[in-house]
Amino acid sequence: MKYKIHAMAALWLAALPALGQNSSQWMLVQSALTYHVSSPVHQVNGASHEAKGKGVCQDGQCNFLVAAPVKSFDSGDSNRDLHMLEATRGAQDPMVVVRAKFSEAELQQSTIYADLEVQFAGQTQRYSHVAFQRQWQGNEMRITGSVPSTCSDFKFERPSFLGLLISNDIPVRVDATWKQM
């Protein structure tokens, strides 16, 4: 009898931390990451639909990770894509990796402010307090927003065409649909 009581108490104590953690996991089910490049004679968008991602919310903090192969970005012109791959050192550093941190409470808000760490072209750049819009679509969560990245952030030479340099700004539009696991 005494053994049973001890065992029950042990089980309760073991279960307590799990109850307090209230963790959730998210999986990226659909995404479009689109960079925008502009020059005086060009406006170009290149999109990747091959990103993979995972999110974990635990102890009131969410950590989301999204990664995509650099070569998966498609601007509709293979020559331009290969040049982008060269300029961004995409064969040497083949992945663009984004880590996002935000408070779990923000999942209930329509706007999520996340701190981002972006690894790209052999460089790591951090962006604080980036706004993303959140929408529920059934049991899936759609996140949209833009990462205000620039060429100089990642220290790659700005490509030019007909002698005209592209703009330093290369914002990346994020459209990601997440499903809770």
Residue 162, CB half-sphere, CA atoms under 13 Å: how many?
A: 4
Q: How many whole angstroms separate alpha carbon 141 and alpha carbon 152? A: 32
Q: In Å, how far are 13, 20, 44, 63, 70 from 17, measured between CA atoms?
A: 8, 5, 51, 20, 40
**In this structure, how many other beta carbons lie within 10 angstroms of the beta carbon of residue 165?**
13
Of 32, 45, 49, 83, the residue at the interface with other proteins (CB under 8 A) is 83
Q: How far is the CB of 165 from other proteins (least distance, A)?
A: 9
For residue 171, which amino acid is it? P
Determine contact, residues 58/50, Cβ cutoff 8 Å.
no
Q: How many residues bind other proteins (CB under 8 A)?
A: 79
Helix (H), strand (E) at residue 18: helix 2-21
Among 22, 29, 30, 101, binds other proteins (CB under 8 A): 101
Find the binding residues for other proteins in span 9-68 (CB under 8 A).
Answer: 9-11, 13-14, 16-17, 21, 23, 38, 40-43, 52-56, 58-59, 61, 63-65, 67
Please report, as residue ranges, which positions from 109 to 148 form the binding site for other proteins (by CB under 8 A): 111, 113-115, 117, 119, 122-131, 148
Among 36, 49, 85, 142, binds other proteins (CB under 8 A): 85
The CB-of-166 to other proteins minimum distance in angstroms stands at 10
Q: Are 81 and 63 in contact (CB under 8 A)?
A: no
Q: Does 105 bind other proteins (CB under 8 A)?
A: no
Structure tokens at 103: 């408070």
In whole angstroms, the minimum distance from the beta carbon of 141 to other proteins comes to: 16
**Closest to other proteins by CB, 54 or 142:** 54
Residues in the chain: 181
